[in-house]
Amino acid sequence: MLPGIQVKKIYAITRKEFYEVAKANGIDYLYCLFSGGKDSLVALHISKKMGEQLSIPLEAVHVDTTISTPGNLEYVKEICKTLHVKLTIVRPRCDFFTYVKKWGFPTVTRRWCCYHLKIEPLKDYFFRREDRRGLIVDGMRRDESQRRKTFPKLSFHKHFKRLCYHPIFDWSKQNVLDYISYHNLPVNPLYDKLPRATECWCTAFKTVKQFKTLKENFPELFMKFVEVEGMLKLGRSALFRNGKRIYLKDL
């Protein structure tokens, strides 16, 4: 099947389901979580079209984790300007390195970053909003991880107190790329240097190779990691793999 035909087919299915979700739940406002990555770009574009079809407002919400790749925030702003979508930027109560100085770098077993850098600022923002029939949309896809395959496509978010919907949950990576190409959407230029746009350089799941790439392309941010790593007590390191500490200063 030709890419254009496939895009139209899968979008038709997504549009029908999106419409039914909105109508069945009396949705009167759309929030699209826009990180700057390809999946969230497609989710934002679809949300824009659905907001127009349903005649309900759309707002893009971006979490500035304070540790994103330089240039990502500027891209997010430019895309929302181009698509004429209202953008709200939320930030954590403290920046990433302030938290690191208190608790050490996050690890797979001590993953404090997800809650404090992403969930908490969104929770604070949605708590202040008066609407209760807003629908939160994001670009989560089933095949990104084994854990995500178990997630429901539509659910009530316990932190945000609103319905959360993943419209492209069943899409493949190729579906996303075909949609972007078909609609000629501007992809984040950070993909020219990185495998992901990376709105968060939290160390929990980052690899030595990724930090070497960061060092090569964004040395100032890399050196900030090295600087803070050197401030930690008990010889703590930014990375910890297979029972061994890995110091960024040695990369």
Q: Where are the domains of the chain?
A: 3-192, 206-251
| pLDDT value for 234 | 73
Of 87, 67, 93, the closest CA to residue 75 belongs to 87
**Do residues 90 and 121 make contact, with C-beta atoms less than 8 angstroms apart?**
yes
Q: To the nearest whole percent, how much of the chain has pLDDT over 90?
A: 78
pLDDT > 90? residue 18: yes
d(CA 31, CA 136): 5
Of 113, 118, 67, 117, the closest CA to residue 224 belongs to 67
Write out pLDDT tens, residues 232-248: 887 788 898 777 889 99
- Residue 143 gets the label, from left (phi > 0), alpha (psi -120 to 50) or beta, of alpha
Write out pLDDT tens, residues 188-211: 999 999 887 678 998 888 889 999
Write out pLDDT tens, residues 114-151: 999 999 999 999 999 987 799 999 999 998 877 778 88
Model's pTM, two decimal places? 0.94
Q: Which CATH homologous superfamily contains domain 3-192?
A: HUPs (3.40.50.620)
| pLDDT value for 119 | 96
